[in-house]
Chain A
Amino acid sequence: GAVVSQHPSWVICKSGTSVKIECRSLDFQATTMFWYRQFPKQSLMLMATSNEGSKATYEQGVEKDKFLINHASLTLSTLTVTSAHPEDSSFYICSALDRAAQETQYFGPGTRLLVL
């Protein structure tokens, strides 16, 4: 199947700093990408839908000014956690939609964020 990469795979940062996570579709173009968050022993919760060339659509309860999403190309979406706090510590997983493959969602390996 198609490959989606995420970088970095893990990051530790101090409270108040900003962290950028990259999500790339390596062998297909993804006009739509999704960002999920997973807290320990919880399921994946959708944060936002990212469409290339337009503003992201955020789920209820997700602060768009805190979680900045940019989808500037057909293979790259970025999630920036601004002014991170310990409660933002989580596992962030991106997913890219491959419309050429029956619109299958492919998932990245995830980024573990720890805010001290």
Chain B
Amino acid sequence: KQEVTQIPAALSVPEGENLVLNCSFTDSAIYNLQWFRQDPGKGLTSLLLIQSSQREQTSGRLNASLDKSSGRSTLYIAASQPGDSATYLCAARNSGNTPLVFGKGTRLSVIA
């Protein structure tokens, strides 16, 4: 059964720093992996989706990588801003028919 772990659980950085959030998964035979953002009391905002055949995806200041062999994904945020403060969730799927399995998230605070 797929399990997703995110480290660190919480992170506080000064504005402008580049940062990396880590995600690991136990079953490397994944179908795809997705990163989400969740603001307090709100739903999920999809940030990046990486298909099994891809190594990375980029959107603006965000870059997500996928290394299936090591069971790891990273989310890189460049030039962080206070508006980036939120919880970031990593989730992996094992097939097109199975649901995303979520990690516990990393709570990010970017200090102005």
Contact = CB atoms under 8 A, between A and B. Distances in A.
Interface in A1-34: 1, 32, 34
Interface in A61-101: 93, 95, 97, 99
Nearest to B93: A105
Q: On chain A, which size bracket covers the interface?
A: 20 to 34
* SS class, residues of chain A in contact with chain B: strand
Q: On chain B, which size bracket covers the interface?
A: 20 to 34
B43 interface: yes
A105 B89 CA distance: 15
Interface of A: 1, 32, 34, 36, 42-46, 49, 93, 95, 97, 99, 102-105, 107-110, 112
Interface of B: 31-32, 34, 41-44, 46, 49, 51, 89, 91, 93, 96-97, 99-105
Question: What are the 9 A-B residue pairs with the smallest beta carbon separation, nearest first?
Answer: A103-B96, A109-B43, A110-B43, A34-B99, A43-B104, A44-B102, A43-B102, A107-B44, A46-B99
